[in-house]
Amino acid sequence: MNNPIAYTKPSITELEIRYVTDAVTHGWGASCYEYIERLEHEFARYLGVNYAVATSSCTGALHLGLAALGIGPGDEVIIADSNWIASVAPVVHLGAKPVFVDILEDSWCLDPSAVERSITANTKAIIAVHLYGNLCQMSELKLLADKYKLLLIEDAAEALGSECHGKKAGSMSDFGVFSFHGTKTMTTGEGGIFVTNNNQLYEQVLTLSNHGRKRGQQKQFWPDELGFKYKMSNIQAALGCAQLERIHEIINRKREILHRYKQLLSHHPEISLNPEPEETFNSAWMPTAVFSTESHITREKLQHAFSSENIDARVFFWPLSHLPMFDQPDESSMSWSICNRAINLPSYFDMTEDDIRRVVSVIEKLMLD
């Protein structure tokens, strides 16, 4: 059997090992926050925002931000149906109601027209999830948020480095969140980060992330309110600092891989890969191939074909509305249609030309059947 091809894995160099070793060796006592504070400062600067709070996960960062803004029972939060459950779980945990709307056929992200049709008197926020590195139509969503006085939030877990009109994903809303999971563009193993330009919101998230202890509280072990435990460790942050120093190198390689897939599959008009509209920059976290309905290529065919070649390609996200905890299926939706004829393609940093061609050959054989 051919050697396995993973769908993704991190790029770890001597720099990451050196920083983590330093944190393990010296990052205790008075130094236990040094890499955390450095990561927060450098990430905010990279993104072009005022504030960042490192967290134990992107889900935790989203939970903190929503809680700090007072999202709770009686509120409705609009989110695209095509998403991983981590984007909607904090909404449910806070007692609010998620409202699932359909996606656009070209970007696989929120359809602004569907968003507007779903706004009610109870709508409090819109969560714009930038899927697989693709960008939501933030200008249109911002107009809707302003028109209806709604909060606009970016889940940029999968879009670190993507840009629209020179603004980076995560910096174009009331707050943004990112994932540093081991599958993401940069990693801390597990981890995430909250970002905002709002000082009051930043201070509240900072408080909630540390058991409700306000910054500057002089009493030891004195929480000012009931909070959460969503802090990142200094060791994780050390890994993140090294990854952030290499972020342009990592993103450029991801883009090269996506571009190569597009080149090799360009003679198949029935296949669409991650778009890059004018005035945008796609950081290409996860190259994804969506097949036309006329191709008769299905998720099951794709899974079997890649598995047979020892290649770990992953399926497109199931619509959240179809999951058993929600069970509101709409099988006429674009979200349902696309997930049945799409596949995530391997794209890790060290992929070779031969690896990429092996992936493409699986698709080519399917197209000939």
pLDDT digit string, tens, across residues 37-66: 999 999 999 999 999 999 999 999 999 999
Q: Is residue 322 part of a domain?
A: yes
**303 & 159 share domain:** no
Q: Report the DSSP pairing between strands 175-179 and 167-168.
A: unpaired
> Distance between CA atoms of 20 and 26, rounded to whole angstroms?
10
Choose among 98, 100, 101, 95: nearest CA to 70. Answer: 95
pLDDT tens sequence across 175-233: 999 999 999 999 999 999 999 999 999 999 999 999 999 988 889 899 999 999 999 99
**64 & 199 share domain:** yes
Burial (Cβ within 10 Å: 0-12, 13-18, ≥19) of residue 30: exposed
> Distance between CA atoms of 268 and 292, rounded to whole angstroms?
10
pLDDT tens sequence across 129-163: 999 999 999 999 999 999 999 999 999 999 999 99
Crossing angle for the helix pair 234-245 and 14-26, to the nearest 10 degrees: 150
**310 & 180 share domain:** no
| CB 76 within 8 Å of CB 97 | yes
Q: Is 105's pLDDT higher than 80?
A: yes
Crossing angle for the helix pair 353-368 and 247-264, to the nearest 10 degrees: 30
Q: Report the DSSP pairing between strands 97-101 and 76-80.
A: parallel
Question: Total domain count for the chain?
Answer: 2
Residue environment code for 226-255, b if the CB has 16+ CB neighbours within 10 A, otherwise e: ebbebbbbbbbbbbbbbbbbbbeebbebbb
Owner of token pair 């910096």: 171
The domain spanning residue 255 has which CATH number?
Answer: 3.90.1150.10
pLDDT over 90, % of the chain = 95
Helix runs in 274-349, H state only: 299-308, 334-339
Residue 366's CB is within 10 A of a number of other CB atoms, namely 18
pLDDT tens sequence across 302-351: 999 999 999 999 999 999 999 999 988 888 899 999 999 999 999 999 99
Q: Is residue 344 part of a domain?
A: yes
Q: What is the chain's mean pLDDT, rounded?
A: 96
Select from 191, 213, 245 the last residue of a domain: 245
| CB 224 within 8 Å of CB 207 | yes
**241 & 286 share domain:** no
Q: Is 1's pLDDT higher than 80?
A: no
At 210, list the tokens. Answer: 């540390």
> Distance between CA atoms of 79 and 262, rounded to whole angstroms?
29
> Distance between CA atoms of 82 and 110, rounded to whole angstroms?
9
- Model's pTM, two decimal places? 0.96
Residue environment code for 108-143, b if the CB has 16+ CB neighbours within 10 A, otherwise e: bbbbbebbbebbeeebbbbbbbbbbbbbbbbeebbe
Burial (Cβ within 10 Å: 0-12, 13-18, ≥19) of residue 369: exposed
**Number of alpha carbons in the 13 Å side-chain half-sphere of residue 85:** 10
Domain that holds residue 331: 248-368
pLDDT at position 217 is 87
pLDDT at position 330 is 82
| CB 144 within 8 Å of CB 126 | yes
**263 & 203 share domain:** no
**90 & 157 share domain:** yes
**79 & 218 share domain:** yes
Q: Is residue 341 part of a domain?
A: yes
pLDDT at position 52 is 98
Select from 245, 277, 301 the last residue of a domain: 245
Select from 245, 260, 287 the last residue of a domain: 245
